[in-house]
Structure 1
Amino acid sequence: MAPSMLVDQLNGEQVDVPTKSRSSDRTVITASSPNPSLQVTADHQLKLVDTPVYAPRRGEVLVHIKATGICGSDIHFWKTGRIGSLVFEGDCIIGHEASGIVLQCGEGVSHLKPGDRVAIEPGVPCERCFLCNEGRYNLCEDVQFAGVYPYDGTMQRYKVHPAKWLHKLPENVSYAEGALLEPLSVVMHGIKTAGLSLGRGVVVCGAGPIGLIALAAARASGAHPIVITDLEPARLAFAKELVPSCIPYEVDSTKDAQANAQAIRALFGSSEYVAPETVLECTGVETSVCTAAYTARRGGTVMVIGVGKAIMHNLPFMHISLAEIDLRFINRYRDTWPPAIACLSGGILDLKKLISHVFPLEKAQDALHLCADPRNGGIKVLVVDEQETSL
C-alpha cells in the first residue's frame, strides 16, 4: 500500500491518552492497523502487545518502522534489567537500531515528507546543557534514548520521533542496511576517537556484530595488519570470510591475559615498533580489556567500545601507567549518521553479510530468544515489518 493511502487510514478519530500514560500529553490516532510492540517488563519477561499510535507534534514525524536490529544491550536489559545506571523500572518497548518510512509530519517539519525512507538516530538530547552546546550531545545526561526505560524503542510498527534525528536513506541503501547504521555509528565514533593510522597494526577484540563491523571499518580505514580475536572458532571463520586479509586469533581460556597478549603480539613480528598501535576492544569483558592493555605497544591506544560490567577490579593499572597506554572509552556516537550513510551508499563498506536471521515483527520474541543463545549462530538479527511496503 502506498504511504499516502496508509496516512489516510491513520487520519481517524483522535482521543486523549489517559493521564497515567508516560505520553499523557499526546494524542492517539485511531488506526485500522494495529501497532504490535515488543516490551521488556520490569520482571525480565518479554511480551508482544498492541500499543497506541501517536500523532506527531510540532517538529516530529510518524514513522512506520520497517527494520530493527537486535543489540546486545536489548538482551542485557531483558535478562538483567539494567546496564550500569540505566534501569528498567517498568514495561518498555525495546529496540534502537532502526529504519523506516515517513507516514506523517508534524507542524514545522520541512525537510521530510510522507514516503521518505529514513534511518533513526535513537538518542534525543536536551539541546540545552553545556555538553549539547559544545556539540558533545552523546554525553547529555538528559538524553531520551529509544528503547531505554522509560522511552519506548523501535520494536513496534509505528513510532513518533523528532524529525531532526531522522536521516534520509539513498535509494541504494535498503531498510535492512539502514538498521545497521546505528552499530556502524558506534564503531565510527570509536575509530575516530582512537585515531587509526594508515598502515599501522590494529587488534579487534571480539567477533560479535560490533567487532565484525570494527574489523571491516578498520580495513576500510587503511589499518594493516589486523588481528581479530574471539573464543569461538565459527565467529573467527566468519570474520575471515568478511575480511580475508585479517588474522584470526582464538583466545585460549586456559591462559591469562598476559600470555594471550604475548601470543597476539607475536602475530605482528618480534619488533616493538610493529606491535599493534591500536586495540579496539569490542567485548567489554574484563579479561579481554586486560588482554588489550597488554597487547598494545608502549604508548599505544586501547579503545574500549564494548559495554561491560559496572565495576572492573583487575585492570593492570601499573602496566597501563608505565607503558603510557592511552585507555579510552566512548559513549554511543555523535555526528556519525551522514558519513555512515555515505560509507554504505558509496560502497566503502558492505555489511549485508552480517545479517544472519530475519524475523517478522509478530515473531519478535523468537528473535530475542535466538539472540540470547550464542549456540544459535546469530550474528546480526533483524526484526522486520513487511506490511504495506517491503524491504
Structure 2
Amino acid sequence: MAPVSDYVKIDKNPSLQVTADHRIEVVEAPIEKPGSGKVLVHIKTTGICGSDIHFWKSGNIGELKVLGNCILGHEAAGEVVEVGADVTKLKVGDRVAVEPQLPCGKCFLCMQGDYNLCQDVEFSSVYPYDGTMQRYKVHDERFLHKLPDSMTYAQGALVEPVSVAYHGVERSSVTLGKPAMVAGAGPIGLCTLALAKAMGATPLLITDISAKRLEFAKKFVPEVLTYQIDTTKTNQENAVAIRKIFGDSEYVQPPSVLECTGVESSINTAAYVVRRSGVLTVIGVGRGDINNFPFMHLSLAEIDVKFINRYHDSWPACINLIANKVINVDSLVTHRFPLEDADKAMATSSDPSNGNIKVVIED
C-alpha cells in the first residue's frame, strides 16, 4: 500500500466546477487513488486565471470548449499526501508546485522538447481534465516540482503565471540595455514586466486602459513608464503617443513589444509601436479571430510576430527567480478566499472594478 501521511484525514474533496451551461458550483468531487508514477497532492493554494473566467463566462477559449462538468484551476501548489507505485523523486510531506500539463511524451513535438505544443496534452482545467480548484488532486510526479522551504504555497502557485511570462520573454527580443514595452497590466503583464526588468531591458513602458492597474504597475516596478490607453483614439494614434514617450527617433523605439492582453485593439496598437526590424510577441489569449491586423505595416517594416502557447521547462527557473528574490511576486496577491468560497473568489476575480490583480483560493 502506498504511504499516506499519518496526520491527514482524506475524507472530503470540495471542488469548484464549471458546467456546460456556464454555471459554477462548489460540489464534492471523488478522491482518486494515485496509480503508478502518480501522487496525491493536497492543493493548498490555487490562483484564478483569466482562462478560468473565460471557461465560466464563454464556455470556450478558441477551440477549447467546456462540454461537461470540469473542475477549474491550474495555478497551484500543495503538499504530497500519498504516493503511488514507482514514484521515486517525491515522498509524503514534500511541498510542490504543480506544472499543470501532461504531454504524451511520444510525438515529435515532445521528442524535440516542445511538449507544450503536444496535441494530446492533458491540461488541468481544460475539459475533460479536472483542474486544481479541489482539495485533492492526483498528478504525475514528473510535473511536480519541489518548493524550497523559503517559498510559500502562494508563491508556488504563482510559478504558473510567471512561467507564461518567462516563455514569452524567452521567445521575444528583450535585450540588456534596450527599450521594451508591455501591453496590459494584469497578472501576466506584470510578471512579464518584472522579467523584462530582470533581463536588463531599459527603459520599460507598460500600457493599460485602467489607471488603477497602471498605478499598481508603478508600485510593482517603480522605474517603469506608463501610458493609459485612450479609447477615444485610434490604435495608430495611441501608438504615436506611446512612441513620443520613448523619444523622437526610430532608433530609441522599442525593438521588443510584449502584448499580454489578447485584445484586438491592444495587439494592433502594439504592432504600430514596435520599431522596424523588431519583434512583437503576443502572449495574451483572446478571441479566435483578429480583424484589421496591420499585415502590410508589419510586412514592410520586417517586424516579426511571435506567439506562445503556455510554457515548457520553466518551473525550475521560475522557482529560482522567486526563491532567490530576483523577482518579488507577493504583492500580486490582492484577494484570498477559502476553498469552500471558491465561487465567491471567481466572482471577485471576474470584476475588475474591485482592483483585484490575483485572487487565490486557499485550503
- Per the normalisation by structure 1, the TM-score is 0.91
* Structure 2 residue 187 is matched with structure 1 residue 186: no
| Residue 263 of structure 1: aligned partner | 241
Q: Which whole-Å CA distance do the structure 2 matches of 1:195 and 1:118 have between them?
A: 32
Q: Which residue of 2 aligns with 1:389?
A: none
Counterpart AA for 1:5: D
Aligned residues: 360
Q: Which residue of 1 aligns with 2:24?
A: 46
Q: Please tell me whether residue 83 in structure 1 is matched to residue 64 in structure 2.
A: no
Task: Provide Cα deviations, 1:294-329, integer angstroms capped at 9, x if missing partner.
Answer: 000000111000001001121011000000111110
Q: Which amino acid aligns with 1:267?
A: I
1:250 alignment partner in structure 2: 228
Structure 1 residue corresponding to 2:88, chosen from 91, 107, 110: 110
Aligned to 1:323: 301
CA shift, 1:377, in A, is 1.1
Could you tell me how far apart the structure 2 residues matched to 1:240 and 1:167 are?
Answer: 32
- The answer to whether structure 1 residue 96 and structure 2 residue 74 are counterparts is yes
Counterpart in 1 of 2:174? 196
Q: Percent identity?
A: 56
**2:108 pairs with 127, 130, 138, which one?**
130
Q: Which residue of 2 aligns with 1:358?
A: 336
Distance in 1 between the 2:246 and 2:258 partners? Answer: 16
| Matched residue SS, 1:176 | helix
Deviations 1:315-352 (A, max 9, x none): 01100000011111000000000000000111101000
Q: Is the 8 A contact 2:5 2:82 kept in 1?
A: no
Deviation, structure 1 residue 4 = 2.2
Partner of 1:312: 290
Counterpart pick for 2:137 among 152, 156, 159: 159
1:240 to 218, 221, 224: 218
Q: 4+ residue stretches of structure 1 with deviation over 4 A?
A: none
Name the residue aligned to 1:61: 39
Q: Secondary structure at the match of 1:54?
A: coil
Unaligned runs of 5+ in 1: 10-30, 386-391
Q: Residue in 2 aligned with 1:4?
A: 5
1:195 Cα deviation after fit? 3.0
Give the conservation status (yes or no) of the 8 Å contact 2:173–2:255.
no
SS for the counterpart of 2:345 is: helix
Q: C-alpha separation between the residues in 1 aligned to 2:101 and 2:119?
A: 11
Counterpart position of 1:73: 51
Q: For residues 251-305 of structure 1, what are the alpha-carbon distances to aligned partners after superposition, in whole Å with 9 as ceiling and x for unaligned?
A: 0101111110111111111111110110010000001000010000000111000
Deviations, residues 41-72 of structure 1 (Å, cap 9, x unaligned): 00000111111111100000000000000000
Decide whether the 8 Å contact of 1:202 with 1:227 is kept in 2: yes
C-alpha RMSD of matched pairs (Å): 0.8
Please say which structure displays the higher CA radius of gyration.
Answer: 1
Match of 1:27 in 2: none
For residue 160 of structure 1, give the secondary structure of its aligned residue in structure 2. Answer: strand
One-letter code aligned to 1:265: R
- The Cα of 1:110 is off from its aligned counterpart by 1.0
State the secondary structure of the residue aligned to 2:193. helix
Displacement after TM superposition at 1:217 (Å) = 1.1
**Is the aligned partner of 1:176 residue 2:154?**
yes
Local SS of the residue matching 2:5: helix
Check the 8 A contact 1:96/1:154 in 2, yes or no. yes
Mapped to 2, the partners of 1:6 and 1:230 lie a distance apart of: 47
Q: How does the TM-score come out when normalised to structure 2? A: 0.98
For the residue of structure 1 that corresponds to 2:196, the secondary structure is helix
Q: In the alignment, which of 194, 207, 212 is matched to residue 216 of structure 1?
A: 194
Question: Displacement, 1:242?
Answer: 0.5
Q: Distance in 2 between matches of 1:255 and 1:65?
A: 45
CA-to-aligned-CA distance 1:175-217 (integer Å, 9 cap, x gap):
0000000000000000010031001000100001111111111
Q: For 1:130 and 1:4, locate their aligned partners in 2 and report how far apart those are by CA, in whole Å.
A: 39
Return the letter of the residue paired with 1:204.
V
Q: Which amino acid aligns with 2:6?
A: M
SS in 1 for 2:205: strand
Q: In the alignment, residue 69 of structure 1 is paired with which amino acid? A: G
* Cα contact 1:42–1:91 (8 A) shared by 2: yes
Secondary structure (helix, strand or coil) at the match of 1:262 reads helix
Provide the C-alpha distance between the structure 2 equivalents of 1:277 and 1:263, rounded to a whole number of angstroms.
17
Alpha-carbon distance between aligned partners in 1 of 2:209 and 2:32, rounded to the nearest angstrom: 45
Tell me the distance in 1 between the aligned counterparts of 2:65 and 2:37. 29
C-alpha deviation, 1:6, in angstroms: 3.7
- Contact 1:6/1:103 (CA < 8 Å) preserved in 2? no
Q: Which amino acid aligns with 2:36?
A: R
